[in-house]
Amino acid sequence: MDFEWDENKNKINKAKHGISTEREDRTRIISARLAEKKEKEAYYSNC
């Protein structure tokens, strides 16, 4: 799996939350929260 990396966003997250999400792989993570039922249904209905 490839991850898309945004170094500026990483610096902001590190300053704001004290954590870095650096990875060697490239994937774009939009949200780390669990999807709600309606979001899952919308996502899977478009597959």
CA angle 40, 4, 9 (to 5 degrees): 95
CA distances from 16 to 2, 3, 19, 41 (A): 26, 22, 8, 33
Structure tokens at 9: 């966003």
The average pLDDT across 34-41 equals 88
Task: Specify the pTM.
Answer: 0.37
Q: What is the pLDDT of residues 2-32, one digit of tens each?
A: 667 788 888 888 888 887 766 655 566 666 7
- The pLDDT of residue 35: 85
